[in-house]
Structure 1
Amino acid sequence: MSRAVSRRDVTRWMLSASIGGLAAAKLRADVTVFPGAASKVDFEPVRRRILQTVAGGDATGVAVAVVQDGRIVWEEGFGWADQKAGVKATQHTPFTLASITKPFTATTLMTLVAEGRLSLDEPANRYLRGCKLVGTSRTEQAVKVRQLGAHVSGLPGMYESYEVNEAGLVLSPEALLRAYGRLAYPPAAGYEYSNIGFAALHAVASGLTETEFGLLMHRRVLAPLGLNDSFFGSDTVRVQSGAMRYDSHGRLIPYYTTSTPASGELYASAHDLALFALLNMHRGAKGQSAVLSAQSIEELQKPVFTGPSGVATTFGWFRSETASGVPFFFKTGGDPGVANRMCFVPSKGLACVVVTNRSNTAELAYSVCDEVLAKYLPDWRRPEEDCGLPAKSFVATPEWKGRWRGLLEGGGAKMPIELDIESDDAASLAIGGDRAEAITRLRSEGEAFTGLSTGKIDAPDAVRTGARTLQIKLVLREDRVAGRVLAVAGDPNVKNVSLPFVITLSRR
């Protein structure tokens, strides 16, 4: 946890970060170097670049941790956890993890698997109480627990953030699934990054244990691993100790929560993420309790769906390989005021973690990981956290051309919808009784048709947020078209919303 600092501390840090003193900067007293863990590489060039970025006003707070041969060899904080209060960022500052929460959620579920209370390859609806996933032709019964954590369940994407005065709008996982837990695609048919899948895992775990999810994660993962800087967002007292979040201009973002906390509301330090990496590399740190067996960790890391780039999803992670075929796992986290990166290479006992508290620092986090890992692995290459198919020009084949009619459902909406595809670059969408709006940016992603349009969806959340920009993704299934529309609004660097509505269409 970060401590308040004196005026002398602030002055000393600012002097050490000045451009003139960078060349001579050495590891300072607040940098932890572990006994017997001498590094094979020099981190000074990386430190210099981070210091320059902070001093130049392009980052607010940054923390880094590196694991080599199963030991933490470097960890350090830069800049500010709370700039106004003068609280420094350190290796023990809890940062919001955003989507790096997902592997922790998957690990929590895996402890239930290890006890025999849950199977990753059983239908998720078997474990969901008071809410069920909804599909067509019994596709909902084909959704496996494992697929929920690997973004191939058929559930669409979703995101919404809530400020303090909007707390009454936050739905429980069960209520959220009743509103938005509809399959847009058949399970395992393709990849779509889905926070709703982790809301379903949240509901499964809480239902099986009758325990609040944050407490469950603390008892089963955080406490046994000695992750003392880490806590779930439901711990409102400790949240106040976390790093503040800033937009791309360095302005403070008001505190917010999200619609799917199990997908993105864990707080953890760089130090704790390094310890978590050790667990996932089968190299538990001294004093850590056994959380999962080697077999259970292998289940977490087993590829579930592999995209055309060779990147695969697992139950909570993404998997890739270096140019020479060395497997590694990674996860990013990005929300307003959050840009994080975590990578680990089990066969090398090597990991790098970078956490930041600003919207525009994703490239910094990614490039620091790349620079560190390339020092150990010359054939390191940065993977994309995406298993989707590349976009290409849309071709209006006879199977697609024509008028389609059906329903748009979800979030309380049930509205007639009409799709008209005239040519490769001309299509329109009409919702309810409103006039048809043009679809722009027509593209194909494999068999899917994608595009952008506008329209008013008569659903409480869409009306409240003014979400009228529509992101369309549809697939042909025999004589039908099915898929989703995401109604989006807001600024992704500050506050935004993406609400999913499922579409089923037949020829007119």
Structure 2
Amino acid sequence: MQSYGQSKSALTSQRLENRLIPITKAGADSGSYQTIYERMKALNVPGVSIAVFDGGQIRWAKGYGLSDKSQAKPVDTATLFQAASISKPVTTVTTFRLIEAKTLSLDEDVNQKLRRWKVPENEYTTKEKVTVRRLVSHMAGLTVHGFAGYNPADKLPTVENILNGTPPANSSPVRVKETPGEKETYSGGGFTVLQLLLEDVTGKSFGALAEEMVLQPVGMKHSTFSLPLPSDKASRAAKGYEETGDMVDGGYHVYPELAAAGLWSTPSDLARFMINVSDSYRADKGILRQATVRQMLVKIPQAGGLGFGVDGSGETLRFRHSGGNAGFSCYAVAFAETGRGVVVMTNSDNGTPLIHELVRAITREYQWPTMWPKE
């Protein structure tokens, strides 16, 4: 276990560690306090890492449990976890930086800029087209909800393999199955289209582009989309664990669907990212312009925002995203007006109930305007 923060924050984290209220299967509070270690044991979660921020600053961060059970390796604040679908907001901010630079247009048919592959036209695309706005809001009508990942030793597919559903890809082809703009249909496949689009318009690999546009300027020094992981980061990467407690085949899966699911990060790095978005929203001090972020964080009818889920208004306006890859579960939420929020990452398929209990305890301790940001 390792942490950093001020002494007052240390006392706060210690209180939280002893004041988790288990949630019953029916969704109600059990009514009795348990410690974080009791809940980790009960839920079979080997490791968890937390970062809490307020007023645009990280107040405390701490790791608990083990990143690798076989080596008895403890989680610390530099332990890397798979961010899973929290990759999508990072991809969205990368995309909006290109929109601000006029390299991309939010509402242009993406087939006008795609070079190596095109979205196949069909009866659903005769009048409405797939656009960047629809991709980042899951309104493009595309197939393929998510991805299973690959053993690190496997031969990995190209992005074109993934989009076409051809070997060695293990997912179905990405196709338009509903009229674009009609309704929200969550699609990791759509973010893979976006990954190819970003590479085609810049001539750069997606990982290098995200590093340049977001990770480096935000100060996310531990984070990477690199595949395979560089040795210095691989040595700090947590192993993923199934519901049974068994380690995921290969230690963890890898995701060439980088834009949708491929980010490795820490809660502190993701907190810096969420703070930066909030800074842009509040004071035009982030890497995106205030007007851009205020457009992103408007809730779309029948959907969320652009790249984030969005709830509330005024002081309760919050943006969020959850994530789940094989052996990993995570969650990030921030209040746009106050620069406060929390990121929780675990190395278990069982992590979501623990995340819920931790976020409830944190919102209660800090008296945030909503007790639990709803999924």
**The TM-score by the shorter chain falls in which range?**
0.7 to 0.9
Whether the aligned pair in 2 keeps the contact of 1:160 and 1:259 (CA below 8 Å) is: no
Do structure 1's residue 142 and structure 2's residue 135 form an aligned pair? no
TM-score between both structures, scaled by the size of structure 1: 0.63
Q: Aligned in 2, Cα 1:282/1:354: closer, same or farther, shift over 3 Å? A: same
State the SS of the aligned residue for 1:76: strand
Whether the aligned pair in 2 keeps the contact of 1:206 and 1:212 (CA below 8 Å) is: yes
Whether the aligned pair in 2 keeps the contact of 1:110 and 1:300 (CA below 8 Å) is: no
In 2, the alpha carbon distance for the partners of 1:279 and 1:132 equals: 33
Do structure 1's residue 257 and structure 2's residue 254 form an aligned pair? yes
1:32-51 superposed matches below 5 A: 32-34=4-6, 42-48=12-18, 49-51=35-37
Structure with more contact order per residue of length (Cα contacts < 8 Å, sep ≥ 6): 2
Whether the aligned pair in 2 keeps the contact of 1:233 and 1:239 (CA below 8 Å) is: no
1:234 to 203, 227, 230: 227
Match in the other structure for 1:480: none
Shift of 1:55: 5.0
In 2, the alpha carbon distance for the partners of 1:72 and 1:124 equals: 38
2:299 to 298, 303, 310: 303
Q: Aligned in 2, Cα 1:283/1:52: closer, same or farther, shift over 3 Å? A: farther
Aligned residue type for 1:281: S
Shift of 1:44: 2.9
2:141 to 154, 158, 166: 154
In 2, the alpha carbon distance for the partners of 1:88 and 1:267 equals: 18
Shift of 1:175: 3.3
Whether the aligned pair in 2 keeps the contact of 1:31 and 1:75 (CA below 8 Å) is: yes
Q: 195-204 or 69-78: which moved more?
A: 69-78
2:271 to 256, 274, 291: 274
In 2, the alpha carbon distance for the partners of 1:113 and 1:199 equals: 18
Shift of 1:137: 4.1
Whether the aligned pair in 2 keeps the contact of 1:70 and 1:283 (CA below 8 Å) is: no
Q: Aligned in 2, Cα 1:117/1:95: closer, same or farther, shift over 3 Å? A: same
Match in the other structure for 2:154: 166
State the SS of the aligned residue for 1:103: helix
In 1, the alpha carbon distance for the partners of 2:141 and 2:121 equals: 9
Match in the other structure for 1:207: 200
State the SS of the aligned residue for 2:337: helix
Match in the other structure for 1:93: 79
In 1, the alpha carbon distance for the partners of 2:41 and 2:180 equals: 48
TM-score between both structures, scaled by the size of structure 2: 0.84
State the SS of the aligned residue for 2:321: strand
Whether the aligned pair in 1 keeps the contact of 2:224 and 2:263 (CA below 8 Å) is: yes
In 1, the alpha carbon distance for the partners of 2:217 and 2:293 equals: 16
* Number of residues of Structure 1 aligned to a counterpart in Structure 2: 342
State the SS of the aligned residue for 1:43: helix
> Which stretches in structure 1 are left out of the alignment for 5+ residues?
1-12, 14-29, 385-508
Aligned residue type for 1:215: A
Aligned residue type for 1:316: G
Whether the aligned pair in 2 keeps the contact of 1:132 and 1:178 (CA below 8 Å) is: no
In 1, the alpha carbon distance for the partners of 2:177 and 2:280 equals: 40
State the SS of the aligned residue for 1:198: helix
Judging by fraction of residues, say which structure has more helix: 2
Aligned residue type for 1:302: V
1:37-76 superposed matches below 5 A: 42-48=12-18, 49-55=35-41, 58-76=44-62
Do structure 1's residue 314 and structure 2's residue 309 form an aligned pair? no
State the SS of the aligned residue for 2:181: coil
Shift of 1:199: 0.3
Aligned residue type for 2:316: V
2:361 to 363, 366, 371: 371
Measured against aligned partners, the alpha-carbon deviations of 1:119-173 in whole angstroms (never above 9, x if no partner) come to: 1111111121121112324716622111111111000224232213432xx3322
In 2, the alpha carbon distance for the partners of 1:275 and 1:234 equals: 23
Match in the other structure for 1:348: 338
Measured against aligned partners, the alpha-carbon deviations of 1:361-418 in whole angstroms (never above 9, x if no partner) come to: 111112211221233225434422xxxxxxxxxxxxxxxxxxxxxxxxxxxxxxxxxx
Do structure 1's residue 291 and structure 2's residue 302 form an aligned pair? no
Aligned residue type for 1:313: G
Shift of 1:298: 2.2
Q: Aligned in 2, Cα 1:121/1:370: closer, same or farther, shift over 3 Å? A: farther
Shift of 1:88: 1.2
State the SS of the aligned residue for 1:166: coil
In 1, the alpha carbon distance for the partners of 2:83 and 2:308 equals: 14
In 1, the alpha carbon distance for the partners of 2:38 and 2:59 equals: 22
2:238 to 235, 238, 243: 243
In 1, the alpha carbon distance for the partners of 2:124 and 2:348 equals: 43
Aligned residue type for 1:369: V
Q: Aligned in 2, Cα 1:316/1:329: closer, same or farther, shift over 3 Å? A: same
Q: 172-181 or 216-225: which moved more?
A: 172-181
In 1, the alpha carbon distance for the partners of 2:176 and 2:189 equals: 10
Shift of 1:188: 1.4
Q: 265-274 or 363-372: which moved more?
A: 363-372
Shift of 1:40: 12
In 2, the alpha carbon distance for the partners of 1:301 and 1:336 equals: 29
In 2, the alpha carbon distance for the partners of 1:112 and 1:193 equals: 23
Aligned residue type for 1:108: T
RMSD: 2.5
Match in the other structure for 2:31: none
Match in the other structure for 1:423: none
Aligned residue type for 1:83: K
Shift of 1:203: 0.5
Q: Aligned in 2, Cα 1:41/1:152: closer, same or farther, shift over 3 Å? A: farther
Q: Aligned in 2, Cα 1:185/1:325: closer, same or farther, shift over 3 Å? A: farther
Aligned residue type for 2:333: C
In 2, the alpha carbon distance for the partners of 1:328 and 1:57 equals: 28
Identical-pair percentage: 25
